[in-house]
Amino acid sequence: MTRLFLRIADLVTLDVDAIVNAANPTLLGGGGVDGAIHRAAGPRLLAACRALPEVTPGVRCPTGAARITPAFDLPARWVIHTVGPIWQDGAQGEAAALASCYRNSLALAVQAGVRSVAFPAISCGVYGYPYAAAARVALATLHTAGAAQDLRVLLCAWSTAGAAHYRDVAATLGIALAAD
């Protein structure tokens, strides 16, 4: 059974088997979490991402999909890259696409033999997904998709406000969320 934990931390400093990157479709780095991961992992991460095949011109990872690379200079062993949806109005399939990010990232983690994985708040930065709504999708999906897995899932919030969203949603959904 997957155990869910919450921590306020810098994702790139976590000593877990895998961290999840809230990436853009090119997988070539960017701002926010994506840029921080690329900077901390070093240039070999960019080279590994460039080596992944494009599924359409300029797209190595479509929205909702996930890819995995070594983590290189990070404490983690793996980086699981996923592309969250850009928030429109909540009626354009954003929740389904975001849930796919979490499901597909968990599936790759299991395939890689990962025992611990840390997730940022996917799509909550420049992609504009409201934090509370994203926390609801994340918690519900991880709780359901991870039910049959023996994983330690760490939800990594950047701030106390972000952590409060996870706590509030977990309480509403009746999902146990331990402090880490």
CATH number at residue 53: 3.40.220.10
Portion of the chain with pLDDT greater than 70, in percent: 99
Q: What is the pLDDT of residue 146?
A: 78
Contact of 4 with 30, CB cutoff 8 Å: no
Q: Which of 10, 15, 17, 34 is catalytic?
A: 34
Q: What is the pLDDT of residue 8?
A: 95
Contact of 4 with 152, CB cutoff 8 Å: no
Structural domain containing residue 139: 3-179
Number of domains in the chain: 1
- Write out pLDDT tens, residues 32-74: 999 999 999 999 999 999 999 999 999 999 999 999 999 999 9
- Write out pLDDT tens, residues 119-154: 999 999 999 999 999 999 999 999 998 777 889 999
Angle made by CA atoms 117, 59, 18, in degrees to the nearest 5: 10
Look up 34 and say whether it is catalytic.
yes
